[in-house]
């Protein structure tokens, strides 16, 4: 088990009813973690429309998780 | 100074423009995006932009670098406002100077489009019906 | 007030911008062209723009009308400087406001391109070698 | 014979060494007039690159001339 911090942005804050979460998980990758989190989500946001970042860098869905990481889930941007 | 920035205060476009002007460049193109009183058919009372600040600044500066590589331009700057905005406030400013107009127009458009699609900034609108919500890209 | 004008004095871009801004339009694009210290490989000391004034104003306003018809924009203004200009002076200003960025960019570019090719304005450059001459479109 | 005023702009001022000319002609059209003027020109500027206007309106090369007209010859614009 590792301890991570999870950040949700934009409408994903509504989906998980939080913007920040300290979380313990046995997931090995960002994708595993996402699937695990879906069980707690309101709705089923498709990961194709979501980007994931670890420690302020965009990563992909097979990126490994390490203890102490901050994982962010980002819906499509709507700046401008 | 970073070329892409987030600002919690009103965007000082005059100051930004001074930074972009270049004596060897005959062309300057800028884009300004303002908060409209309506969007996608709803009457807007105010809006908030929230960003993943660190990643947004990093990605915004990558976009400016890409524009400098891709187009023959001299200088390019973009600032995006975050926090609570009122109707008529400037939400985003992009300015580009270049020796020739074609590169200036294309680079300005490129930066704006890429910022809108790639920089993690999220718009939350409040409407006259009292509701509010996260707004998807148009 | 006409939307396309010639100006014998420094272009007041702040004032022009105020005339273009529109509370229903989220997007504003402007182009500014300045006198560079070099052009087509020659060092420029100053330049003069001469126009066939009546026809230039008429044709410039036709171009703005065409832009209003062709693109979904709210307001568009263009002013071109004439007479003697110094390095760093603004030669032309084009500003467009529109609900969406695509129309604003396209209309601004359209107006600039058409003005450059259709409005009878002629550039006479003075160079550091003491010579001067009429300059063809790039 | 009609009396007209002729205006030259840009580099055409160099071609005809003048910017303004009171002129008497028996030419019937803008093209006739242009051919007539070529005999007084320095060089032979091709009319394909030149626009012609009568009384502050663009016209074509078959437009008729009338007494009192102001005819302008305009090289390619170089504003901006």
pLDDT, tens only, A6-62 = 999 999 999 999 999 999 999 999 999 999 999 999 988 888 999 999 999 999 999
Which residues does B75 contact at the CB level (< 8 Å), separation at least 6? B19, B20, B21, B22, B25, B95, B96, B97
What three-state secondary structure class fits C71? coil
Top pLDDT among A74 and B130 is at A74
Give the gap in angstroms from C-alpha C15 to the nearest C-alpha of chain B: 14
D-A interface (Cβ pairs under 8 Å ≥ 3): no
Sheet strands (E) in D9-63: 20-25, 51-54, 57-59
ipTM higher than 0.95?
A: no
Indicate which of B74, B99, B100, B105 best probes the interface with C, i.e. most C CBs within 10 Å of its own CB. B105
How many other β-carbons are positioned within 10 Å of the β-carbon of residue C116? 20
Q: How many CA atoms lie within 13 A of B113 on its CB side?
A: 11
The rounded distance, in Å, linking the Cα atoms of C22 and B112 is 20
Q: Do D57 and C55 touch (CB under 8 A)?
A: yes
Q: How far apart are CA A41 and CA B72, in angstroms?
A: 47
Asked if B79 contacts B91 with a C-beta cutoff of 8 angstroms, the reply is no
Alpha helices in C21-120 (DSSP H): 53-70, 101-118
- The predicted-structure confidence for C92-133, as pLDDT tens digits, reads as follows 999 999 999 999 999 999 999 999 999 999 999 888 888 889
Task: Answer with the residue of higher pLDDT: A73 or D46.
Answer: A73
**Nearest residue to C51 via CA among D53, B31, B50:** D53
pTM here?
0.94
Distance separating alpha carbons of residues D54 and D71, to the nearest angstrom: 5
Tokens of D38: 């070529």
Digit-coded pLDDT (tens) for B100-118: 999 999 999 999 999 999 9
pLDDT of residue C138: 60
Average pLDDT for D49-77: 97
- Collect all residues with Cβ–Cβ distance below 8 Å to A23 and sequence separation of at least 6: A3, A4, A5, A6
Question: Which residues does chain B have with pLDDT short of 50?
Answer: none
For position C23, what pLDDT does the model report? 76
Average pLDDT over residues C49-73: 98
Provide the pLDDT for residue C114.
98
Q: How far lies B58's CA from each of A61, B3, B51, B64, in Å?
A: 20, 10, 12, 10
* Tokens 């604003």 -> residue: C104
Contact C40, C125 (CB under 8 A): no
Helix (H) or strand (E) holding C28: strand C27-34
Q: Is the CB of residue B114 less than 8 Å from the CB of residue B63?
A: yes
Residue C103 · residue C112 · CB < 8 Å: no
Q: Of the candidates B82, B70, B73, B112, which has an alpha carbon nearest to the alpha carbon of residue B5?
A: B82
pLDDT level of residue A1 (50, 70, 90 thresholds): very high
User: Is pLDDT of C43 > 80?
Assistant: yes
Q: Please state, in angstroms and rounded to a whole number, the distance separating the CA atoms of residues C68 and C1.
A: 16
Interface contact flag, A76 B135, Cβ < 8 Å? no
* Interchain pair B134, A57: CB under 8 A: no
Whole-number average pLDDT of chain C: 94
Would the pLDDT of D29 be above 70?
yes
- Sign of the torsion angle spanned by Cα atoms B112, B117, B122, B123: positive
D1-19, pLDDT tens digit by residue?
A: 999 999 999 999 999 999 9
* Contacting partners of chain A (3+ CB pairs under 8 A): B
């Amino acid at each position: 088990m590792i301890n991570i911090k999870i950040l949700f942005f934009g409408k994903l804050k509504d989906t998980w009813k939080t913007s920040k979460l300290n979380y313990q998980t046995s997931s090995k990758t960002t994708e595993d973690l996402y699937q695990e989190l879906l069980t707690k989500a309101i709705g089923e946001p498709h990961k194709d429309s979501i980007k994931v970042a670890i420690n302020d860098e965009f990563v992909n869905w097979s990126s490994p998780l390490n203890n102490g990481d901050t994982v962010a889930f980002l819906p499509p941007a709507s700046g401008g | 100074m970073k070329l892409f920035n987030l600002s919690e205060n009103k965007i000082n476009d005059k100051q930004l423009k001074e930074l972009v002007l270049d004596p060897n460049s005959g062309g300057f193109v800028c884009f300004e995006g303002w908060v409209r009183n309506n969007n996608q058919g709803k009457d807007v009372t105010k809006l908030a932009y929230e960003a993943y600040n660190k990643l947004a600044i990093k990605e915004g500066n990558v976009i400016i670098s890409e524009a400098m590589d891709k187009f023959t331009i001299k200088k390019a700057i973009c600032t995006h406002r975050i926090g609570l905005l009122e109707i008529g406030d400037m939400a985003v400013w992009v300015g580009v100077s270049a020796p020739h107009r074609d590169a200036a127009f294309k680079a300005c458009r490129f930066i704006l489009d890429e910022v809108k699609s790639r920089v993690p900034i999220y718009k939350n609108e409040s409407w006259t019906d009292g509701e509010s919500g996260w707004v998807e890209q148009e």
